[in-house]
Amino acid sequence: MKSRALFIVFAFTLFTTWAGAADEKGRAPQRVKLTEQTIRTERRLYRKAPEGELFLHLYFPANRKPDDARPAIVFFFGGGWKTGSYQQFVPQSEYFASRGLVAASADYRIKSKHGTGPEKSVEDAKAAISWVRAHAHELGIDADKIIASGGSAGGHLAASAALLEGFNAKDDDASVSSKPNALVLFNPVLDLTRLPERSHPDLDDKRRKQLSPTLYLHGSAPPAILFYGTEDKFLAHGQAYAAEAKAQGVRADLYVANGMSHGFFQHSPWTEVTAQKADEFLASLGYLEGAPTVKLSKSAPRLEKE
């Protein structure tokens, strides 16, 4: 009986690692299909890290042309820098490809697979953005319209690429910027000094500060949209980020889902609702045209702007 119970726990852990981080109630995310279009896919190696090869899983619009210069969006999965898979953001990647962007869902080093911590994850996120920008012409991307996105720890990586100095790999091309031009953040961790010490005992106070994007917000930070549930313990991170952004004169739209906890965006209908709102945000920046194509029921819940 004991061995069967251990097997069930192990199987559940594997599933949530494959699918992306479970929410605070332990629910594995649902696979929501956000578009019916056939999306062209491709896998490209972007880094040979000491611990293994890292890939970008690319999604292209069906009407892609060789001379395109489209905006791009790069997703980073969640999982506390310890677990997770690029597959967490396959629905969003497919959707934004259907809307005309080039999308990518990135591998990066994590504790369970590579024995690494948040610092190496940030290093990989920066390398991923740099690689996309360096290969913009061959991928049909506008190098000045690269969006970084992610959930939870992945949201932290997206914000870190935009705001943290340093943490660059030795083999990075310093002439190519790793800073995204816009941010789409799903319940991101933004201030590691607010995390309990037991969550990452290997990080001292100095390193936690160095890895906290909110502490380095400045007037040239990229525009951002942030999504949280009202019951998410990380909501305070988003509120502090939005307040500091306002003080710096930077756009940071904060939306909350009433009664929802961490990881809510992985569950229907919130996957659809957040995709629609992110679409509207990117359209306001001139990165998308036309109305969102996400299908929502009349009874779908609404996000509230703080």
| CA distances for 12 relative to 2, 9, 269, 290, angstroms | 16, 5, 23, 40
Least confident of 128-137, 173-182, 197-206, 284-293: 197-206
The first and second tokens of residue 150, run together, are 């992610």
Question: Token pair 């629905």 is at which residue?
Answer: 91
* Residue spans of alpha helices (H) in the chain: 2-19, 90-98, 111-114, 118-134, 136-139, 153-163, 205-210, 235-248, 270-284
The one-letter code for the residue type at 197 is E
Fold of the 2-305 domain: Rossmann fold (3.40.50)
Tens digit of each residue's pLDDT (9 = 90 or more) over 140-167: 999 999 999 999 999 999 999 999 999 9
Identify the band that residue 8 occupies on the pLDDT scale cut at 50, 70 and 90.
very low
- pLDDT (mean) for 208-235: 97
Q: Which of 161, 139, 202, 170 is nearest to 75 (CA)?
A: 161
Whether the Cβ atoms of residue 247 and residue 205 lie closer than 8 Å to each other = no
Could you count the other beta carbons within 10 Å of the beta carbon of residue 300? 14
Report pLDDT for 196.
82
Indicate the pTM of the whole model: 0.90
Q: What pLDDT, in 10s, does the model give residues 240-286?
A: 999 999 999 999 999 999 999 999 999 999 999 999 999 999 999 99
43/171 Cα distance (integer angstroms): 21
